[in-house]
């Protein structure tokens, strides 16, 4: 049998179910890998050793008693550290919550555990999900398994690195402006952001409430589809949760006859030649599967970053107001009066990027500026929604690159605007609530992964998975980075 970490999650689960490997063996293997690699990679903030062992023993027992086992049985899953596992620490990559014990489960996480996934650790992230490189973690940065000098992307950098290095086979991430898809692209794994509301946000520490979605990262589309089948249920604790029956994701190598892919060429003007070439290759693959390519007009997306950074920070400024040193989290010793407790706790607890975004968000909502910034951005958001509506009138899915380049080196982007512009291709799907996936599409000159993105209309999660699967089967760019293969 292949080494366990070479298997897809589905294959590993099946091996377990068929008795070829025990859950305890699985946990042993993956915990060993984590111990060996995490120091350099910085993918995990917390390793849930005891918990994983207990779950593994319970699973082996269930299997030996022929009891029914869940859809994700024995799959080692990493959870981004902004989602709660009851009783475990949730840090959100922040000093503020370095000692915060989650009082309840995130619904999506709980569902996976109930389907017998083994929760193996909490992954590193940009603080409070604010960042595109995992350089904003208050603890330590995460590194790209393809080149440790490069960032894994963000904010779900730890999750992407963990999956790419095969320290877990599935990870959860959260995506507000691309935080699942961009790191997936940088690390050469699959990353999926569902239609807004498809996965419950209950237990996900909120960043941009109207933009956030929890989604899976995995080594194959089928693995992420499995995770979506398990996570994508209506949740009565989340009023924005879609009140629709859960989807199943039948995957075929073939594209449905007459599939039309839209490409917003105008919007993609100025792509660097490497990325453009890689993107064009991806389009050729779709053509070879029978897809028709059409040009669609999504020029308005050039305003996406402006809209996003106004709306997301506005929501975040209020979502993060609860971190005040009063009920939980750190409380500054330097605070004698109430005001000082607020001011100092937040000064000490929040990193610089978080402070910036909270202030920006406060500014765009403040008296005298709300019309010009927040309300204006909300209107442009409507136009972006309309533009996608129009585009989907002409095609079944839109394809774009994931990013303007492969993973960049740590510290190489200092200008905040340049960092924000990293999200230019991913942010639109959040603004319009659309399902979108990032799939490995090849490698750049440096050998760093590149990713391509498929975006579908609202609620068309199954279709997007299907297109991605067909592409993946026809292109096979997924591999394990050299240092992590053994």
Contacting another protein within 57-96 (CB under 8 A):
83-84, 90, 92
**Residue closer to another protein, measured from CB, 136 or 219:** 136
Asked if 216 and 117 touch (Cβ cutoff 8 Å), the reply is: no
The catalytically annotated residue of 8, 22, 94, 155 is: 155
- In DSSP terms, 396 is beta-bridged to none
User: Which residues, numbered 364-383, are part of the site for another protein (CB under 8 A)?
Assistant: 365-370, 372-383
Under rule CB under 8 A, how many of the chain's residues touch another protein? 102
List 40, 61, 237, 479, residue binding another protein (CB under 8 A): 237
- Asked if 309 interacts with another protein (CB under 8 A), we say yes
Which stretch, 57-65, 143-151, 164-172, 232-240, contacts another protein (CB under 8 A)?
232-240
- Asked if 203 interacts with another protein (CB under 8 A), we say yes
Which ranges of 42-156 would DSSP assign to H, the alpha helix? 49-64, 107-114
Going by C-alpha positions, the residue among 118, 23, 107 that lies closest to residue 76 is 118
Task: Report residue 236 as tokens.
Answer: 């009565």
Taking the C-alpha atoms of residue 200 and residue 285, their distance in angstroms, rounded to an integer, is 34
List 17, 54, 294, 321, residue binding another protein (CB under 8 A): 321
**Known catalytic residue: 94?**
no
CB-based contacts of 9, cutoff 8 Å, min separation 6:
72, 75, 169, 170, 218, 219, 220, 223, 226, 227
List 362, 405, 473, 483, residue binding another protein (CB under 8 A): 362
- Asked if 455 interacts with another protein (CB under 8 A), we say no
Whether the bond between 163 and the residue before it is cis, its omega within 30 degrees of 0, is: no
- Asked if 328 interacts with another protein (CB under 8 A), we say yes
Asked if 1 and 21 touch (Cβ cutoff 8 Å), the reply is: yes
User: Which residues, numbered 102-131, are part of the site for another protein (CB under 8 A)?
Assistant: 102-104, 106
- Asked if 347 interacts with another protein (CB under 8 A), we say yes
**Residue closer to another protein, measured from CB, 202 or 484:** 202
**Residue closer to another protein, measured from CB, 128 or 471:** 128
Sheet of 260-263: strand order equals 44-47, 118-123, 76-80, 170-175, 213-218, 190-193, 436-443, 449-455, 397-401, 260-263, 292-295
List 30, 186, 267, 323, residue binding another protein (CB under 8 A): 323
- Give min distance, CB of 108 to another protein, in A: 11
- Give min distance, CB of 265 to another protein, in A: 21
Q: How many CB atoms lie within 10 A of CB 356?
A: 14
Taking the C-alpha atoms of residue 187 and residue 172, their distance in angstroms, rounded to an integer, is 15
**Residue closer to another protein, measured from CB, 284 or 299:** 299
The catalytically annotated residue of 55, 80, 122, 193 is: 80
Which stretch, 144-152, 237-245, 257-265, 463-471, contacts another protein (CB under 8 A)?
237-245
Taking the C-alpha atoms of residue 411 and residue 270, their distance in angstroms, rounded to an integer, is 24
Taking the C-alpha atoms of residue 429 and residue 464, their distance in angstroms, rounded to an integer, is 13
**Known catalytic residue: 155?**
yes
So which residues are the catalytic ones?
Answer: 80, 155, 179
């Amino acid at each position: 049998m292949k080494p366990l970490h070479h298997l897809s999650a589905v294959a590993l689960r099946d091996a377990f179910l068929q008795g070829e490997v025990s859950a305890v063996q699985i946990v042993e293997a993956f915990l060993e890998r984590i111990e060996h690699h995490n120091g350099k990679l910085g993918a995990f903030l917390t390793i849930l050793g005891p918990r994983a062992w207990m779950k593994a023993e319970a699973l082996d027992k269930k299997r030996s008693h022929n009891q029914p086992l869940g859809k994700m049985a024995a799959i080692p899953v990493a959870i981004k550290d902004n989602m709660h596992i009851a009783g475990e620490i949730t840090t959100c990559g922040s000093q503020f919550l370095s000692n915060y014990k989650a009082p309840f489960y995130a619904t999506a996480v709980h569902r996976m555990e109930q389907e017998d996934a083994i929760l193996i650790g909490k992954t590193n992230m940009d603080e409070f999900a604010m960042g595109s490189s995992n350089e904003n973690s208050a603890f330590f940065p995460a590194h790209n398994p393809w080149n440790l000098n490069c960032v894994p992307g963000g904010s779900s950098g730890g999750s992407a690195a963990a999956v790419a290095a095969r320290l877990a086979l599935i990870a959860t991430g959260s995506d507000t402006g691309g935080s699942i898809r961009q790191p997936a692209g940088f690390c050469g794994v699959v990353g999926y952001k569902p239609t807004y509301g498809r996965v419950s946000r209950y237990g996900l520490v909120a960043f941009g409430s109207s933009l956030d979605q929890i989604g899976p990262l995995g080594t194959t589309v089928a693995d992420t589809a499995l995770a979506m089948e398990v996570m994508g249920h209506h949740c009565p604790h989340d009023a924005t949760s879609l009140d629709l029956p859960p989807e199943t994701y039948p995957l075929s190598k073939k594209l449905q006859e007459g599939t039309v892919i839209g490409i917003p060429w105008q919007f993609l003007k100025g792509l660097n030649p490497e990325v453009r070439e890689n993107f064009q290759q991806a389009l050729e693959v779709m053509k070879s599967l029978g897809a028709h390519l059409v040009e669609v007009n999504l020029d308005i997306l050039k305003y996406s970053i402006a809209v996003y950074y106004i709306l997301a920070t506005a929501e975040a400024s209020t979502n993060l107001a609860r971190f005040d040193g009063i009920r939980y989290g750190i409380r500054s010793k330097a605070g004698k009066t109430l005001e000082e407790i607020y001011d100092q706790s937040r000064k000490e607890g929040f990193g610089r990027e978080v402070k910036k975004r909270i202030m920006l968000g406060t500014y765009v909502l403040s008296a005298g500026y709300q019309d010009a910034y927040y309300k204006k951005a909300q209107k442009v958001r409507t136009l972006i929604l309309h533009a996608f509506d129009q585009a989907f009138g002409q095609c079944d899915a839109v394809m774009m690159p994931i990013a303007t380049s492969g993973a960049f080196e740590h510290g190489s982007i200092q200008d905040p605007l340049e960092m924000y512009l990293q999200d230019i291709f991913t942010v639109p799907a959040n603004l319009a609530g659309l399902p979108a996936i990032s799939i490995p599409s090849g490698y750049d000159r440096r050998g760093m992964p590149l990713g391509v993105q498929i975006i579908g209309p609202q609620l068309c999660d199954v279709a997007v998975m299907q297109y991605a699967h067909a592409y993946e089967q026809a292109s096979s760019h997924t591999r394990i980075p050299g240092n992590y293969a053994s």
